Structure 1
């Protein structure tokens, strides 16, 4: 199927993309940043871990060094005292090594877990500070899946660096020291294997950077697609979308598998070459040392100690050979985390911005122009005043700009030109937090969060008492269904309140706005999901809530706005009419009059009775 073409699917990448860390300079800079941000926080813990790793490295080298005495003293010279002393020393060395390995393992795990937790907090805090347009441009499911994969990259980078330097590198140095002490000539033969392996690793690492980033992106898309399918399962089943979605996911999974196999191939490409080169070096050393022992009578203890050191050195050397490959993968993940952390909010508060001071709550739009994308104007020269303590209704065809006006009042976006004032204060010159704390908002599509019903209402004002929460629920006509839930107000909600009807979710959203008790109330199609009975009940609650508050109401149903203090008709991004219901309904040829006539024909006398 064309829709499942792998190239087309993979071309639809998310817009979040910064400079790829494909040069050595960028990678070194990233490593310095990670060390600067985290190193000093764990100086003591890392110091103790390094001591433990040094003990591991030292005891490993000691085991090779003492083999000379074991062979010569016990097996050659038959020293009875050595039969007791040397095994005790070897046992103590293993005991120290075991304790040190446990200590460094626990310490590095704790440090790593703390780093992951700190970056998770930091990421969430930063994401909540980013502008709404960031989330419009990046799919939330893909973003969550990518973060879940990337967040361990910084921990892995630090742990790999510490363990490789303090354990593997020191072990190798100590063991090479033992080898040189025993036989410099043989040591030089064994070390010839190092340069060709290092050159090969460097070439493979460059290929791995690009492959790793591609794999992370594809895996994130797989997880995101599964998450979206789970969230929209009712739509999936209603439209029998199971088969096409399975095909789409299968394509992504197959692509992810291919990318993962490529990375495995690149990563493991070092193994056969390393094994063959190291095997050749070890075989040569054994043959030459055996020849010297047989022909020239060299000490078997010295030869055995050398070979033991050489064999023990193989493991840390192999790990160090793979270090760059492993580090590249970890740092690609870390770099993708910093791509998010380095994003600057597009709507920063001005330096030393004051808090919004509400006196009356008047909202004024002055020649506002706005578009979500360059060259696409949504609002054109919008000017109006929403009087303090009064209700202003916005009505018009879909796509005319009504909801955009509500978004701009909350400064989800900044205007291109003109200004929005609240009690004479330009909302761009005050802190966003103080602005939004003075606003209660009921969106068209209600959203409920993980937790209980009580928790969701309390999100409107965290310091609200249980009595205030229950009163807000009663005003929103929500208590009648809340008390019938298994645990009442303490009933846990499914994902986005999936166990509740649309009208019930909307009434909880209205209760959340009511408990906020803010001087400005924004209602964006707040009753659109309610049936006629619930709409009537909630409308009574909203009329009580709107009393003495500056309210902007977006509505399609005229029955919800006929009593508004002023009604503004928005069409094509402009305000084309304004007045009260009585003034507009009798305006010959007016757009509002046409809306009214259309709805009265479809709804009978409902509006007439309310008017």
Structure 2
């Protein structure tokens, strides 16, 4: 399969070069797979073209032999021949339509699979920049461009070009002079098509993008419907999407107006040609007494040639529409994968799970510096908590450890192995991750837990759910573990979704556990249940906890305090809370509430005030 590296520039280039490059790439990627189907389709299309030409050819004998010379013995022969020709034509049309549809459907499925596989290989940074709804809508529309490019090319070359060549042959055979009259007007149509194509290219892409925005905005509004209702955003969103829809409609109207300008040129061409033929043939028939058969055959061929000529004339226009979508698909497929295995990458081997950051620098794509020479160690089989004010770089540490992004300088090691030199699959396979906002996928509760380890048995899944304090509420569902969760677990509470995500982490049975503020969005009762579940899963594992509530990390073996991308303090809760003027002590004091560390100290300070 071609990686398209040599074709990328040409694909984004001019129309002629781009069309050839895209078509060549599609054929290189799929031609061998569908060779037999293509041959059968082309044979059928050629048959259609030849039978179309035959209909014009036989018109001369119908007129001259039956109506002029009145040869009755030819009536049934010619009629039977016409029936046979149309039968063959009908069968050929059916076969080519079915085969071409199957090829097209298979191509769509194949490229949908390829695009999804590519998206799964792209880094997290790509998805932080791309709107998911817009991306999904664009892909749904773009992927059809691959199918349309091949369908248009095959039908144009196999049916329309053969039909036109056959009909022109009939016309030249019947009357060479009339043929010259017709062909003399053809350059008008060619110039009209070139003019239209040049004007429509940018409009097509804008139309595709706007249509994707419409679908994407609708999808995002449906996904966030509770927020929409809570903040009475219905009217504002309706006005917003109404504006986008109006823009898309205006672009579509403009595209239709530009595209259909070919038709008046084609009609003028046909009108001039037919008028010239009628005038010339009429004068000759009146003055020379010529039989009308050849003229009727010529006119029939001319009229039959109008449709394939028009389609061939519009081929460049229609191909450009399809090419815009095909190019946008290849833009995704050709996108470089920033986080990928090095050629010499080896599997990660975890003995204890000790994690070490050493002089790590990191900036996001927009140039924002997040980490400055960050160094710390998370000992094996111990719990290390990372705290600090918002923007300190806490969550970035979790992302870098999983290699969602690559660092600029320094090293990150696990048991002394640089994670830049190990395979991504083995790296992430040694980690279980629980995020602040748990995500559930379409399917049942059992399937969502099993995502942690596909080979897990039902007994292991249920045991993980028990450890996560989730088994009881699962059994209360309508179908227990086989209950569908709805879109992103909409039928479950936040605490229930979080406990399912913890069960997913437990069933993974990984030596390293990453917790990114896993309880910060929960109420007190849910937090207590989730915290109990976390203590169960943390036992015996190397655990890194990003903490918002200091009460959740009092028992951590080591607490690392960060500020502005740097480590400013390290120690246990007791050590850090006792340091006067320290950042942790201030955060602890500001925590407030009797249920949080420093709560009583905070109350004392208020009393003194």
Could you state the TM-score of these two structures normalised by the residue count of structure 1? 0.94
Select between 375-384 and 342-351 the one with higher mean Cα deviation: 375-384
1:485-512 CA-partner distances (Å, limit 9, x unpaired): 1111111122111121111111111111
User: 1:144 maps to what in 2?
Assistant: 136
2:526 pairs with 1:565:
no
Report matched runs for 1:10-159 at 5 Å: 20-159=12-151
1:193 shift after superposition: 2.3
User: 1:218 maps to what in 2?
Assistant: 210
User: 1:291 maps to what in 2?
Assistant: 283
Q: 2:445 is matched with which residue: 444, 449, 453?
A: 453
User: 1:469 maps to what in 2?
Assistant: 461
2:573 pairs with 1:581:
yes
Residue ranges of structure 1 left out of the alignment (5+ in a row): 1-16
The CA distance in 2 between the partners of 1:312 and 1:512, in whole Å, is 66
Q: Is the 1:22–1:210 contact (alpha carbons within 8 Å) kept by the matching residues of 2? A: no
Q: Secondary structure in 2 aligned to 1:394?
A: strand
1:167-216 CA-partner distances (Å, limit 9, x unpaired): 00000000110111111111111112211100110111011111101111
1:593 shift after superposition: 2.1
User: 1:9 maps to what in 2?
Assistant: none
1:349 shift after superposition: 1.4
User: 1:332 maps to what in 2?
Assistant: 324
The CA distance in 1 between the partners of 2:373 and 2:195, in whole Å, is 59
The CA distance in 2 between the partners of 1:37 and 1:583, in whole Å, is 63
1:41 shift after superposition: 1.8
Closer, same or farther: CA 62–287 of 1 in aligned 2, 3 Å: same
The CA distance in 2 between the partners of 1:107 and 1:215, in whole Å, is 30
User: 1:596 maps to what in 2?
Assistant: 588
Select between 37-46 and 98-107 the one with higher mean Cα deviation: 37-46
User: 1:174 maps to what in 2?
Assistant: 166
2:470 pairs with 1:478:
yes
User: 2:515 maps to what in 1?
Assistant: 523
The CA distance in 1 between the partners of 2:27 and 2:148, in whole Å, is 12
Report matched runs for 1:371-450 at 5 Å: 371-373=363-365, 375-450=367-442
The CA distance in 2 between the partners of 1:193 and 1:34, in whole Å, is 35
Q: Is the 1:21–1:27 contact (alpha carbons within 8 Å) kept by the matching residues of 2? A: no
User: 2:607 maps to what in 1?
Assistant: none
Q: Is the 1:506–1:529 contact (alpha carbons within 8 Å) kept by the matching residues of 2? A: no
User: 2:5 maps to what in 1?
Assistant: none
Q: Secondary structure in 2 aligned to 1:299?
A: coil
The CA distance in 2 between the partners of 1:482 and 1:104, in whole Å, is 53
Could you state the TM-score of these two structures normalised by the residue count of structure 2? 0.95
The CA distance in 2 between the partners of 1:378 and 1:406, in whole Å, is 13
1:515-536 CA-partner distances (Å, limit 9, x unpaired): 1000100000112233323322
Q: Secondary structure in 2 aligned to 1:41?
A: coil
Q: 1:272 is matched with which residue: 241, 251, 264?
A: 264
Q: Is the 1:362–1:385 contact (alpha carbons within 8 Å) kept by the matching residues of 2? A: yes
Closer, same or farther: CA 221–508 of 1 in aligned 2, 3 Å: same
User: 1:261 maps to what in 2?
Assistant: 253
1:150 shift after superposition: 0.5
User: 1:12 maps to what in 2?
Assistant: none
User: 1:161 maps to what in 2?
Assistant: 153
Count of equivalent residues:
592
The CA distance in 1 between the partners of 2:109 and 2:366, in whole Å, is 39
Q: Is the 2:577–2:584 contact (alpha carbons within 8 Å) kept by the matching residues of 1? A: yes
Select between 173-182 and 69-78 the one with higher mean Cα deviation: 69-78
Residue ranges of structure 2 left out of the alignment (5+ in a row): 1-8, 601-609
1:129-159 CA-partner distances (Å, limit 9, x unpaired): 0011011111111111111110000110011
